[in-house]
Each structure stands twice: as C-alpha cells, then as structure tokens.
Amino acid sequence: MIKLRTIALDDEPLALKLVTDFVQKTPFLELSGTFDNPIDAIEFLSDETVDLILLDIQMPDLTGIEFSKTLQNSSKIIFTTAYEHYALEGFKLNAVDYLLKPFNYPEFLTAVQKAKKLIELEQAALPTLEANNQFLFLKSEYKIRRINFNDILYIEGLKDYVKVHLQNDEKPILSINTVKSLEEKLPADRFMRVHRSFIVNLDKIETIERSRIVFGKIYIPVSDQYKEKFQEFLNENFL
C-alpha cells in the first residue's frame, strides 16, 4: 500500500495535536514531522521531500498561503483554517482540499484520500524505466533522458529521488525514483550497490581508501551490509 510522507504545520498546539492524531490513525499516511512555525518547516523541507502538507493559514512570520508559494517541489497541500474567506485563494494555489476548523476525522479522511488518489494517478502516468545492456531512459525535470551506462559514475539516493552522477557532467540528473528501482534495471555485472544510498559503476572505480570508493573529491562508503559482496569483487580482480 502506498504511504504518503506527511507533515503537519499549525501554530495552535491543540489544532496541531488533532491533525497529528488524525495522520497517525490513517494507514496510508506516514508522519514525517510536525511544526508550529513555517520557518522550521522550510528548513526541514530544504533537505527532505514529502508527499503531503497539512497546512494552517493564519500563522506568524508567514501565512500558509505565503509558505505554499515558497515550495519548490510537488508536495500536495491541504489547507486547514478557521477562516472561510481563504478558500478561494487556497484553491487558486491548486490545493487538494480546504478543511474548515473545527473538522472531524471523516472530513479529514475524505481530503487525504483525494490527495492519495491524485498522487497515485501521477505516479501511474510516469513512464517506466526502459533499459537494455547499454543505456536506459529516465524521466528528469519534465524530460525523458537517455543515460548511457558507460557515462555513469555513481547513483545517489535521496528519499524518493535519485541523483545520477555522470562522468563528464558536473550537474547530476535528478529523477523521482528509488535506488532499488534503478538497481533492478542496471546490469549486475557492471553496477553494485555498496550502501543503502549508493550504487557505483564498477568499471569506473580507480581508488579505494579505507572502505571508501573515491571519485575525485567524493568518498562513497561501503556499508557493512554490502562489504562481503564488494570484497568478493575485489578478490576476483586483485593481483
């Protein structure tokens, strides 16, 4: 079952607790954080990605409307507020729904189910990875990019995203995928997962230092879970 990574943002403690309780009792929601001010939420989202934001409107420093305009990702928003006159502006920002306080659990559930359905439809519309033994096609920034295996140095996982680092390109390719999905598509004789967050191109390894694979100034750790398999690779190619 799909789990939506969710955060709740409200400066009223009782309102925040109510929304938190509702999230925790909903099987397809996963609570990733709660915030009583928008500044902390912005800092969190600079490093993390979430699927759904339950967002109060009347808050200090930034209103929920202003906060939503700072978002750089495709997180779905459900506004929660005691002020009905914000509804039109909320919908202009493509909010999934607008919950007027005080709301009950059935109303909450209806709203988050709507978000879940939208996310499922968007994911179903994404092209699947297509691969052969030389390259694959990957969706990135509204384009479909051909990635030649020989150009890949390593792949880095970031929650629901991956960064594909290429040999002759300073800027990695960012795609909504998981490390696991790419691992399944890449040829096992050329690529190896060495960490929960990293896959490396075995043909590109030139230096290993203290259980770390070195690509220029980047050091990729080989975690305990993958050390045995990586050591087998080294033994097979060691003189």
**What are the pLDDT tens digits along the chain (239 aa)?**
678 999 999 999 999 999 999 999 999 999 999 999 999 999 888 777 889 999 998 888 888 888 888 886 678 999 998 776 555 555 556 688 989 889 999 999 999 999 999 888 877 655 544 555 688 888 887 678 889 999 999 999 987 789 999 998 888 999 888 888 888 889 888 999 999 999 999 999 999 998 899 998 999 999 998 999 999 999 888 76
Same domain for 74 and 92?
yes
Q: From the CB of residue 106, how many other CB atoms can be counted at a distance below 10 Å?
A: 8
Domain with 167 in it: what CATH number? 2.40.50.1020
Residues 79, 158, single domain; the answer is no
Q: Which residue, among 217, 164, 224, has the nearest Cα to 194 in the 3D structure? A: 224
Are 82 and 191 members of one domain?
no
73 shares its domain with 162 = no
The strand order across the sheet containing 218-221 reads: 207-208, 212-215, 218-221
User: How many structural domains does the chain have?
Assistant: 2
One domain, residues 47 and 32: yes
Q: What whole-number distance in Å separates Cα of residue 25 and Cα of residue 210?
A: 45
Instruction: Say how far apart CA 60 and CA 83 lie, in whole Å.
Output: 15
- Of 64, 96, 125, at which residue does a domain stop? 125
Q: Which two tokens stand for residue 115?
A: 């978000």
50/30 same-domain check: yes
Query: Are residues 222 and 212 in contact, defined by beta-carbon separation less than 8 angstroms?
Result: yes
Pair 54, 117 in one domain: yes
pTM of the full structure? 0.56
Instruction: Tell me which of 81, 107, 125 is where a domain ends.
Output: 125
Domain that holds residue 120: 4-125
Beta-carbon contacts of 190 under 8 Å, excluding residues fewer than 6 positions away, are 149, 201, 202, 203
